[in-house]
Amino acid sequence: MPTAQELVRKFSDLKTLPHVALRLTKLVNDDRSTMHDFEEVIKLDPVLVTRLLRLVNSPYFGLINKVESIPKAVVYVGMKNLRNLVAVEALRNLFRGGENENGFSRKNLWIHSATVAIIAEMIAKRIFGQEGEDVFLAGIIHDIGLIVEDQLVGESLWSACAAYDPTKNTLALCEQESIGTDHCLVGNLLAKEWRLPNEVLKAIRLHHDMERKHSLGSITSILQLAEYVAGKLGYSPLVGRFDPLPDYLVRHVRSTMTNYKVIMRDLPSEMAKAKDLYETDL
């Protein structure tokens, strides 16, 4: 059976984030970065320039005067939102593909990932009073390991999907039995190659860890909450199957149920905004 490292090495030979995305991620992680640094990198990608200007001049920002310069656009959008824009653009094509008989679909996985990202950002901002950019990134990328497995060991992944029963196991446990590793470990290693923030890496690795109690408000716990809400609303990668919440998160949701009901009420409008922002099929 292949190890997570072997799968990532083989996959990296085929797919990687574009050079511009890697450089932007590095800049976001460097406190010494300036707007000029971002401008110089963005100029290397004419498509990104077009997307950035279209984004900042969209109704979402509601600016009175049209923005036509890269520096001003970066100021309005923000460095981390810019990084997320590039990540969404880079990853979108990896999620194209058909559905197999066990219900695994790259399209469903993309819709699930985008929905989880939006819900996670809403929870971060509305429940925990945090900026939501990093947790949005974690949501978009948390299941990227499934794409690696689908491409390299598809039949074994599909067997894991068939064996997955949320009342008895997790998909990650089924993957361990069928493949020898799981998408959490694979995704963590791939995201590490992309130099994503440490808390994002941790959340990718642990988002199916139902045994440990993670800090409330951490990216990991928010990601677990968002996955559960997405599943309840019908946006799970394997339709109708999703992990239950750990007990400590059940208690948290019950104590703040009114806030979560508001999030679920507002989700359609937030998804519409995201579609405008990222041109994501939802």
Last residue within a domain, chosen from 76, 95, 114: 95
The verdict on 50 and 153 lying in the same domain is no
At residue 279 the predicted structure's pLDDT band, cuts being 50, 70 and 90, is: low
The verdict on 196 and 241 lying in the same domain is yes
Residue 75: what pLDDT? 83
At residue 74 the predicted structure's pLDDT band, cuts being 50, 70 and 90, is: confident
Please check whether residue 255 lies inside any domain of the structure: yes
The verdict on 243 and 280 lying in the same domain is yes
The verdict on 45 and 183 lying in the same domain is no
Residue 45: what pLDDT? 76
pLDDT beyond 80 at 55: no
3-state DSSP helix/strand/coil percent for the chain, to nearest 5?
65, 0, 35
pLDDT beyond 70 at 276: no
Please check whether residue 3 lies inside any domain of the structure: no
pLDDT beyond 70 at 33: yes
- pTM, two decimal places: 0.84
Write the single-letter amino acid at 103.
G
Please check whether residue 154 lies inside any domain of the structure: yes
At residue 253 the predicted structure's pLDDT band, cuts being 50, 70 and 90, is: very high
Residue 258: what pLDDT? 95
At residue 99 the predicted structure's pLDDT band, cuts being 50, 70 and 90, is: low
The verdict on 138 and 74 lying in the same domain is no
Please check whether residue 137 lies inside any domain of the structure: yes
Please check whether residue 193 lies inside any domain of the structure: yes
In terms of residue numbers, what domain contains 170?
101-282
Half-sphere exposure of 107 (CA within 13 A, CB side): 7
pLDDT beyond 90 at 28: no
The verdict on 89 and 153 lying in the same domain is no
pLDDT beyond 60 at 280: no
Last residue within a domain, chosen from 46, 77, 95: 95
What average pLDDT does this structure show over 140-149? 93
At residue 155 the predicted structure's pLDDT band, cuts being 50, 70 and 90, is: very high
The verdict on 72 and 114 lying in the same domain is no
The verdict on 54 and 112 lying in the same domain is no
Last residue within a domain, chosen from 95, 124, 150: 95
The verdict on 113 and 229 lying in the same domain is yes
pLDDT beyond 80 at 12: no
At residue 71 the predicted structure's pLDDT band, cuts being 50, 70 and 90, is: confident
Residue 182: what pLDDT? 96
Residue 106: what pLDDT? 86
Please check whether residue 8 lies inside any domain of the structure: no
- Each residue of 92-127: b (16+ CB within 10 Å) or e? bebbebeeeebbbbbebbbbbbbbbbbbbbbbbebb
The verdict on 109 and 143 lying in the same domain is yes
Structure tokens at 5: 């490292």
Across 7-16, 103-112, 134-143, 169-178, least confident range? 7-16
What average pLDDT does this structure show over 57-72? 81
**pLDDT tens for residues 101-131?**
667 888 889 889 989 999 999 999 999 999 8
**Neighbour-count burial of 218, counting CB atoms closer than 10 A to its CB (0-12 exposed, 13-18 middle, 19+ buried):** middle
The verdict on 120 and 137 lying in the same domain is yes
Please check whether residue 57 lies inside any domain of the structure: yes
pLDDT beyond 80 at 220: yes
Please check whether residue 1 lies inside any domain of the structure: no
What average pLDDT does this structure show over 25-53? 79
CATH code for the domain in which residue 220 is found: 1.10.3210.10
Structure tokens at 3: 């190890």
Count up the domains in the chain and report the number: 2
The verdict on 222 and 281 lying in the same domain is yes
